[in-house]
Structure 1
């Protein structure tokens, strides 16, 4: 009686198949095992290793293995590589791929380039050897035309295609799944445990010193499924196939039972005894050493007189495969979770039949059990639910901040945003999307909003002004009227637009200056004009600028001491920061919004009061209406500190005069009727720009909705600021 083995490993394939780096190493590992006289007991000359063979070479070697054998011979065939099921064949025949196996352009197997299981079965049937062991560590896949689906149970019929009397067939899997996954550093999982079962003697279940095919399979299956539950090694024994002797356990490894169950070597080798105890405890602990196990092992190490460092090395050797398997399992779970998350997000949380089928195939490919998949899906659904809840929470808080009526500075807005973000666990991508979605939402008349700047902060508070029409200018009988306020003419706004709810604040202008290192014209040496109360006139002071206007201001006050050109620089920066069409308002837009549907001199009615606006209430009254209250603040007040007009604009009368986009015209003859800014046409003078609204130095009549002045765009005044406009 002799033993003959053919060990085939195919790692390198044509581009039609994935490379399997460990396949040749699997075959080489089996050669070392079988040629070991204490384990496999095969003569070296009777063990043939075939690495990356071509199809013809592989088939000839298989034929030679089974030919000219005697009845009592043991024939061992090992194949590590790709197996392919042919769906064009109604019987679902299986083929084994060689290095030159090919597929057609549409995905069908070129049958002539692979070795058929039926051919191998024929060689086995013709062989006189009655003890045949076939080990297939293969990843089976389907070969069928691209674009077609196949109604199939996903199984490969190994029993009928390779089984037979006196034969034992062991397979890593019989399903169309990638049971062969491994990396460049290790043997495939199935081969690893087949070899381990013989080397350690742990596959000898009945402790008789002989490892049968049935014992070998049972051990490998148990160990594989402890790490990868979805992987299902199969065993197909013919009559007497279960009892075929595969290997023997050397006397030094013959186990006996100690008091608590694990195998302990009787050879007197304390190192081997310790290693077996570690292997037993690690196996019982599913790849981990518990605190109790640690105590037992420490005692055993001391009893055997082992060096602590050597004991640690043996433990690491035993634990390494489990750790690697756990890491591989974790990575497979991650890949499955990524796919599932994308499908759930794409389909709104409910998967259709096609997605479920795709997911099922990927689960099998990744060798994950149903419980694994269920746990992953439960976790992801809970995660997505939390994410939706947090997005809603953030969106609501963001909406309240962006549409709120508080006048907040950039730093205050950043602090509020930071507090909102600290309350949720959302990635920057999700936060950016929420901001973008909010920016895309339609804006309704009267709705406050803020745009997002590039650094994530928020811009000035704006409000939507409705489309409509009005009579621009003052009627001839209005008290305090000037000819430059007429003639009255109808202006129609076909579309809504937005205006700043208040004038641009010092802190907002400061953010622009700090971001750009901008210096205003006043700071460049021109200074600005300051009101001399004692002499009742404007005086230019070189030390006057937006940071030092001649009176106390904080960052919530309207910025003054800036020229029309300075205002345009700020507008250009804000446009670049937001991507929105920010600008100075046209004179028509300003008056339309200031009137807010009223036709009286002020949006407050026929009169105005220092409780409603910031102006010089110590000067002459307006039309004896009671506007002269004796109150004069002599400086600006914080933006938003006085009541808004009917359309939500604060301090539109008084506090600061406001630059507009228009060139100066002495009257409204031939003025635009669509609300646009008026340029040089009709004798326009762009060396002067229109100023509206009145300021803290003005008497009541200068605050009327129709009142207008011209200002040099290069001059800065301690009572002139600006309000923003934005297209929608």
Structure 2
């Protein structure tokens, strides 16, 4: 894959246009970060820089950028200068020779039409295209700052397309300005800062994607405009089509390791608490970044502090007034919440905890007793080294294993899952693994014979207590690299199973079984997040049978309710995570071998695959775990029910993520992925690589799901 960039800056113009000294400086700054090996990683020879070009130079360079490129190349076009519209509202990029007529209307043949750029982008084979426009649309001045032209234009309409991301410094009716201190345009100043200082790496994965860069620069631009009284303020926008917003534009250099650690910790903080897997991840990141335990603990305390302070003020208010609070006190609390920067969903669990305790104490207090007694809220430990992920407490989350073991011993928390760490012998289980081998091929009409060999393995897990005696067992899946998709010589392969490509998966947890009807019923009783859930949707009834007749939306709601209840980040697996977990280190069509048998999975046994004999057609689901597990300890990865994945459907793996992440588009109604086959489908559909799709609102008695906890 090549990374090619065209950087254009136009500072000098014909009469009728303001000069823009910052534009050429913008190009130089973008060049520095893109060519840096620890940032953009573009080769010097693959970056074309044009300063104050003529029209033919710009058009020729645009042609060269998009022509004769490979599908997996990454193309980037950056422009800083005047943007302008003609009488019909068509958008143009101004060159140094662009002119206006006596009526002050654009002479369009002197500028580069956006339609030309659109045409070249559409004709290019390259699926990864980024356009950054630091310009606006009419000549104007504001407080001594040069503005970059004027007009109204729909950039998404004129520059949209497959696999593209367009970043604009302002909306179609706003101006873009120069930064008064840096000498760059405001928008470019923060684009460069976000890359150069690694601040735009919002998820702390070491990469800066297009949407992360936009989000960082947009926030900083808006703040700057407010500080400088620029009215109306610039509002940078992003227009992404399909996976365009996920394109990695640069690596994130580790400039401030404390900031990197803080960003990652902030992303993993849920309602003032860190989940157990999150704590393990943060401990690993602390070591990788070279932070001391004291430094890491100080950062985590800072993040949790607003939640703690809100809880303390709420308790003080209740001590003073009793429950319920007066309207004035509630209004004051609302103002304090805003000062602390907390959302309503952040404080909801705090208020509920305190409300319940206050109500209980009020109910047990005699009317004759004075109301001046302080509210008895369970203390939240703040001693150094406290490891706090207890649902009823809000505090620090650092890693002291003695504290951790003490909390486990006291029954405050479930035993810690072995996330990103070595084995913990007390949290393993033994299971049976089966492999199927063909003994005799069956030449010239002879019957094919095969044998099933069984062995024992062990795996790590933790059990999530859902209540009512129901648990959810989550298996630790080790990270690794695997070839995703099917090889071209695999029997009954479909073209949308390719091209086969290498994917790297981080360690994660996956449900030992598909979600059962008993588990579904419990979680369906948890508080609603977005949509209602039918507590008993399944056609084939049975507490230990998989829940079915659930849509993708239902499965997502289940995950969100479970996440809020437990503090863990439950979600549907990405398609890559699912296939990696299904294969469990194998490269055959099924995790147990080259073919399949109804002795090993529940599918339509009236059909065969790769010379396998016919078998039993059960015509319904079976209890989860009725057959042998794969080498990771996961059951029913082949057959029984199709399993929803997080991803949206794509016709091939061209442009697919290689880091195991979800592959989404900007179309919320796009079909979603299903994997694994079912009781009513042919054996070929049960293969590790087979891909199936349905609309997200679809549900049937052959569709279920299982959940994961992923590090990303």
TM-score, structure 1 normalization: 0.35
Higher helix proportion: 1
Q: Which has the larger Rg?
A: 1
